[in-house]
Amino acid sequence: MTERGVNDMTDNLTYTVKQAKLSVVQGDITHQATDAIVNAANSGLMGGGGVDGAIHHAGGPAILEECKQIVARQGRLPAGQAVITTAGNMKAGHVIHTVGPIWHGGSQGEPELLASAYRESLKLAAESNLSSISFPSISTGAYGYPVDKAARIALKTVVSFLSKTTSIKEVIFVLFDNRTLEAYADTLWDIMGEKG
């Protein structure tokens, strides 16, 4: 069933998609206790600002060590791909690092690459037998992707994945600021409304 506190933006918004729970909440992803949290990384996997910096700071040096080994083995991570490491000192079980596209106006494959970043992260979680996963709003910070457009792609990709895959039981979008929370909440409401 669907519930929404329409006038309270701090209210959590939760839907059921087949066997899975899909929620949009406000918070700091480094505090999430899901099997995996997703990092909006950059191709070098060496940490950075935004959510990437927060995850490396909270998780400690073990994450960077594994990232360095991955890059030594397979090179830089292209946009739209994902890899998995320990979560170090965080409550989450693992970190899935994915690279979103940098926004260049929308005609350089950005929508496909953003959808791929979500899809590959979910695939990797399922292949790793993980059942719960938290996402930040990939690409909408330093990478400049317009939040409304990104929210639609993020949520549609997740809903489509959940309607085909049974192993993932919970997906949580953990959004840092009010504006991003509002964009994702409105979009989720819209998408699920469309589905009746």
Nearer to ligand ADP (CB atom), residue 108 or residue 163:
108
Q: What is the 3-state secondary structure (H, E, C) of 10-54?
A: CCCEEEEECCEEEEEEECCHHHCCCCEEEEEECCCCCCCCHHHHH
**Smallest gap from residue 179 Cβ to ligand ADP (A):** 9
User: What's the rounded Cα separation, in Å, for the pair 180 and 160?
Assistant: 21
Nearer to ligand ADP (CB atom), residue 80 or residue 141:
141
Nearer to ligand ADP (CB atom), residue 57 or residue 194:
57
**Smallest gap from residue 165 Cβ to ligand ADP (A):** 24
Sign (positive or negative) of CA dihedral 149, 154, 157, 162:
negative
Token representation of residue 2: 């669907």
Nearer to ligand ADP (CB atom), residue 22 or residue 40:
40
Query: Do the beta carbons of residue 41 and residue 99 sit within 8 Å?
Result: yes
Where would I find the H helices in the chain?
Answer: 50-59, 61-74, 110-127, 147-164, 178-194
Residues that bind ligand ADP (CB under 6 A): 28-30, 40, 50-52, 54, 100, 136-143, 174, 176-177, 180
**Smallest gap from residue 90 Cβ to ligand ADP (A):** 11
User: What's the rounded Cα separation, in Å, for the pair 172 and 82?
Assistant: 18
Active site residues per annotation: 52
**Smallest gap from residue 193 Cβ to ligand ADP (A):** 24
